[in-house]
Amino acid sequence: MRITKSPEERKAEMVAIASVLFARQGFVRTSVTEITDEAKVAKGLFYYYFTTKDEMVKSVVEGYCAYLEAEADRIADGSETGREKLLRLFAGDEWRKCFTAPMTEDLKLPQSAAVYCDMCDRMAAHLLPGMTRMVAQILEESGRSSEMAEQFAGTMLYGFLMMMRQDRLKPGEVMKVLDTVFA
């Protein structure tokens, strides 16, 4: 018997399935057929929602970024010092998972540069509001103006992301950098 679902439910289901497969084996080694077989839908339905597998990757990244945004906002609203909040954001398991999963390794490949840049933009769009509040708090707690907090937070986030792409910074080292800057 065929199960009827709304287009939004079906698309969300495929993104959720792809998320699991990409985390487990990367998106390079995950085929569209694996996603559609797991979702029990025709391959054509995949292409109805996503023009390419890269579009699916972007949808998976968007979901992850939305989750990180909620975490950043929750942390930013906490009662700790700004420094403690920022350190907690980057010390979380979610941050490390993002940059150690097979999917992230695939994003670092030269042929994935455009998708990686898209991920960076999505992360900035989601994380910068919370991060900016944390950085502003740090600056204010140290008696400095918070006028440039957003620019500082953006430079920091994009810098971390680009250095990690080039393997010049490991996820665990982000904490050391932050601890040095905000000691």
Convert the pLDDT of each residue in 25-83 to its tens digit. Answer: 999 999 999 999 999 999 999 999 999 999 999 999 999 899 899 999 999 999 999 99
Residue 144 has pLDDT above 90, yes or no: yes
The parent domain of residue 114 ranges over: 52-181
The enclosing domain of 67 has a CATH number of 1.10.357
Most confident of 3-12, 87-96, 148-157: 148-157
In a domain, 57, yes or no: yes
Rg (CA), the chain: 18
pLDDT-derived band at 146 (thresholds 50, 70, 90) equals very high
Assess if residue 23 is contained within a domain. no
In a domain, 89, yes or no: yes
Helices (H), 51-112: 53-76, 82-91, 93-98, 102-107
> Around Cβ 47, how many Cβ atoms within 10 Å?
14
pLDDT over 90, % of the chain: 68
In a domain, 115, yes or no: yes
What is the CB-side half-sphere exposure of residue 21 using CA atoms within 13 A?
22
Q: What is the pLDDT of residue 138?
A: 94
Q: Quick check: is 136 in a domain?
A: yes
User: Three-state SS for 119?
Assistant: helix
Residue 16 has pLDDT above 90, yes or no: yes
Give the count of domains, the chain: 1
| CA gap 168, 154 in Å, rounded | 19
User: What mean pLDDT comes out for the span 156-167?
Assistant: 91
